[in-house]
Amino acid sequence: MTLLTFAGTGDSMGVPRVYCDCEVCQEARESGENRRYRSSLRIEDKAFGHTWIDCGPDWGKQVEAAGQRFPDRILITHAHFDHIGGLVEWADACRWLGRKGEAHAPSEVIEEILNRFPWLGGQITFHPLDEGLTIGDWTVHAWKVCHGKNGYSYAFRFDHRVTGKAWAYCSDAIALTEEQLKPLYGLDLLILGTSFYEEPYEFSTRSLYDVKEALELIKDLRPIRTCFTHMSHDIDLRRNYGLPEQVWFARTGMQIEV
């Protein structure tokens, strides 16, 4: 059995935002239902240990919450700070524990990370993910997706060689082309980033699907289950949005078997 745990479900700023007194941010401070660390996913399986997707600036808190000390590997979607800001903390853990970290990312993502933090290579080994990866019985395929005004990201598709099950993690994407959409068909589970319910800003300034657009998208993709992540303070988990069956907003600590 492979278990997925949402270690973080927030957008680049997290929730609450330090500057904001909106109802969602206030609730996040007081009772915590809407409190969201930057988006990250933990993958656990007895066969291959603990794999994380992304290592943002909240990573240390997320690892503590999981009761862990050291991941077996981390997959990285892209080099924006909300997805790599915790690499410095991981490298420090590597140094003090005398262990080498194992990170996997597409070559251009690795190049961008090491251009910014060249010393990380002394503590973390970065493996190119261009030709895919096998973790236990899962094969991992990475492909480039449109991230709107913010450039590009990568999405990951996981296929199980024994059960035939498939799931994908696509946290930062918008306006995907037909070619970019192809790996998102035939999924048992789709994890998709949606920062707003209905984003009010000019399309040219945007970087992620909103919930209403995502709901239209999955009508065509037809995954068996869908979870929305990478949510801003526009999404209020106390509210009933009338989502279809088998479609959910991810919550911190939420777990799914695949």
CA dihedral 7, 77, 236, 248 (to 10 degrees): -80
User: Taking residues 183-210, what's their average pLDDT?
Assistant: 98
Mean residue pLDDT across the chain = 98
User: Taking residues 48-62, what's their average pLDDT?
Assistant: 98
In the chain, pLDDT over 90 holds for what percent of residues? 100
Nearest-angstrom CA–CA distance, 143 and 26 = 38
pLDDT at 67: 93
- Confidence bin at 136 (pLDDT 50/70/90): very high
Could you tell me the residue ranges of all domains in the chain?
3-257
pLDDT at 43: 98
Tell me the residue type at 233: H
Among the listed residues 41, 34, 77, the one whose alpha carbon sits nearest the alpha carbon of residue 59? 41
Chain mean position to CA 132:
18
Nearest-angstrom CA–CA distance, 51 and 104 = 10
- Confidence bin at 78 (pLDDT 50/70/90): very high
The pair phi, psi for residue 153, each rounded to 5°, is -140, 180
pLDDT at 126: 99
pLDDT at 93: 96
pLDDT at 195: 98
pLDDT at 45: 97
Residue pair 39/11 in contact (Cβ under 8 Å)? The answer is yes
pLDDT at 225: 99
| pLDDT tens, residue by residue, 142-171 | 999 999 999 999 999 999 999 999 999 999
Tell me the residue type at 190: L
Nearest-angstrom CA–CA distance, 87 and 75 = 11
CATH architecture of 3-257: 4-Layer Sandwich (3.60)
Nearest-angstrom CA–CA distance, 257 and 87 = 27
Name residue 153's beta-bridge partners.
145
pLDDT at 50: 97
